Structure 1
């Protein structure tokens, strides 16, 4: 699991960014009150290369290591800069509700057959102990056939994870490519 080092922040957020840091806040289990912190921008970029909102990370702050969830990543949508991060410290055994991103694996095999995957859900809400929850929900679609539907009921995340969506809700459907020859 990833880890970042946070330093105490007394400067305003713009000053922090000017000196190569990203402002953040750390709060939750074991943190007496919300702490204004800063993290080196290079460390944040490395962290977010493989993590996103709802990812689990360790935050090292004032010689304490906190098990956290990235609760928010604020971006400047004009230039894609990271403006602010929010870390919530939790216990690994704590039961949480969280939206997990859905990742489809094997779409290139569908495309090779002239099919496309129409996706209807990019996130799925689940509940479980934090240590049992995956970072993402991976769905293998390489062996799917034309017309196949993937529903919530098709997911197998284990007994310790409860899916908080209707079982008949459609996640994705395999359909014909839009490049069909209309003349035939």
Structure 2
């Protein structure tokens, strides 16, 4: 599990100024905390973390010498500036279920030659205790053909007794549709006459 160092943020300093100085702002909240803890984290540390973690990822958050087992709840990305501006965490309690999401990762999509692969769900929402958290759901689509589809209930995450699905088990995650790329006969005739 990754460790991320953060500092308590002085709320008298505006977020815009902190971002100019190379920080990402954020918050840590949780049931056992009184209010939330405003944070500032070095931008390079956040960028390093996000190479391996996403929303729903679990990290050890070190704030001024105290360590929290935390879940990445929200990442605010500024597409214009191409940077993360804010990242929020939830402090975890070992025996308490927490709401999270698992990223859907498709494998072997280059092997799908019959039809067009369509990823409909990019993440699956669920509840689980911290020990049972899942960051990614790996889906091998290499053997799928035109007309095939996979639903949430077909995936390994739905079989895990420690996970309570929040996403509808009947929801389609990925499907393969047939390719229709032939031109109608009358269009072909017009092209040959010109």
1:62-85 deviation digits (Å, cap 9, x = unpaired): 211101111111122322222111
Larger-Rg structure? 2
Q: Aligned-pair distance for 1:114?
A: 4.2
Match in the other structure for 1:123 = 123
Is 166-175 or 46-55 further displaced after alignment? Answer: 166-175
Aligned residues: 181
Match in the other structure for 1:163 = 165
Q: TM-score, normalised by structure 1?
A: 0.87
Q: TM-score, normalised by structure 2?
A: 0.83
**Matched ranges for 1:129-148 at <5 A:** 129-148=129-148
Match in the other structure for 2:95 = 93
Q: Show structure 1 runs of 4+ deviating over 3 A.
A: 29-33, 180-184
Q: How many Å separate the matches in 1 of 2:66 and 2:32?
A: 10
| Structure 2 unaligned residues grouped into runs of 5+ | 186-194
Q: What secondary structure sits across from 2:46 in the alignment? A: helix
RMSD: 2.0
Q: Aligned-pair distance for 1:172?
A: 1.7
Match in the other structure for 2:78 = 76
Q: 1:168 to 1:19 in 2, by over 3 A?
A: closer
**Matched ranges for 1:1-184 at <5 A:** 1-10=1-10, 11-110=13-112, 113-157=113-157, 158-177=160-179, 180-182=181-183
Q: How many Å separate the matches in 2 of 1:83 and 1:168?
A: 35
Q: Aligned-pair distance for 1:182?
A: 3.7
| Structure 1 unaligned residues grouped into runs of 5+ | none
Q: What secondary structure sits across from 1:43 in the alignment? A: helix
Q: How many Å separate the matches in 2 of 1:62 and 1:30?
A: 18
